[in-house]
Amino acid sequence: MEQYKKDFIDFMVESQVLTFGDFTTKSGRKTPFFVNTGNYDTGKKISKLGEFYAETIKDRYGLDFDLVYGPAYKGIPLAVTISSAIYSMFDKNIGFTFNRKEAKNHGEGGSFVGYKLADKQKVIIVEDVITAGTAMRENLPILKDAADLSIEAIIVSVDRMEKGTGDLSAIQEIEKDYQIPVHPIVSIDEVVDYLYNREVNGKVIIDDETLARIKAYRAQYGI
């Protein structure tokens, strides 16, 4: 596993974004692990998060694109910090754009804020996680209506590798329906492999009992 992935897993645990215990998802599933990206709540954390996304984009796609797009609301700070990180790390100046939940009908108007969308631009969409794929299904048509864009990839923080409504995960459904690759910084399998019996800040995060619960959950809902 690449070092930046290991560092990102440690970062999630230390930021209390990735936790293990007893949780209930929006779908009602009882899950032994939870990803709460709302805990990226300081300048230091969001800056570091942008660097991990930037590293993943360079590793999985490259730097030949024009802008990052972040769907409102959680995608907004992501788009800003990622574009800044790409500039500071790789000296590549790209644009960032995000959408308004409701179109503005005064001033400059429109549904988008930031770098102006134009035909032939290469766009990378950034999101925290894809749970049901709702945000992507709402935003992809909006982007396509705005300009003749080329959506190159979607980057997310963690792939839970979990079934959606059928046998595919939400990520696999997006890839199948829209023919757009989705790249996570890490998958849940990588997280488990790395953290099993490993101490972070003096504490073992995934012991035998937690691993057994994760395996049982993955056997039921995993892909």
Which residue, among 185, 217, 163, has the nearest Cα to 20 in the 3D structure?
217
Q: State yes or no: is 122 an active-site residue.
A: no
Binding residues: 26, 73-74, 100-101, 104, 106, 127-135, 160
Q: Residue 189 in contact with residue 222, Cβ under 8 Å?
A: no
Q: State yes or no: is 58 an active-site residue.
A: no
Query: What pLDDT does 104 receive?
Result: 52
DSSP string, 157-213: EEE--BB-SSSSBHHHHHHHHH---EEEEEEHHHHHHHHBT-EETTEESB-HHHHHH
- Cα–Cα distance, 122 to 31 (Å, whole number): 37
Which residue, among 6, 5, 92, has the nearest Cα to 53 in the 3D structure?
5
Quote the pTM value: 0.92
**Which residues have C-beta within 8 Å of that of residue 55, sequence separation ≥ 6?**
4, 89
Which residue, among 137, 117, 119, 135, has the nearest Cα to 127 in the 3D structure?
135
The one catalytic residue in 44, 104, 144, 215 is 104
Q: How confident is the prediction along the chain (223 residues), in pLDDT tens digits per residue?
A: 899 999 999 999 999 999 999 998 777 889 999 999 999 999 999 999 999 999 999 999 999 999 999 998 899 999 999 999 999 999 999 999 999 866 554 445 468 999 999 999 999 999 998 877 888 888 999 898 999 999 999 999 999 998 877 889 989 999 999 999 999 999 999 999 999 999 998 999 999 999 999 999 999 998 8
Domains belonging to the chain, first-starting first, are 3-221 (3.40.50.2020)
Binding residues for orotate: 131, 160
- Cα–Cα distance, 100 to 73 (Å, whole number): 9
DSSP state of 114: E
Residues 68, 58, 79, CA angle at the centre, nearest 5°?
A: 20
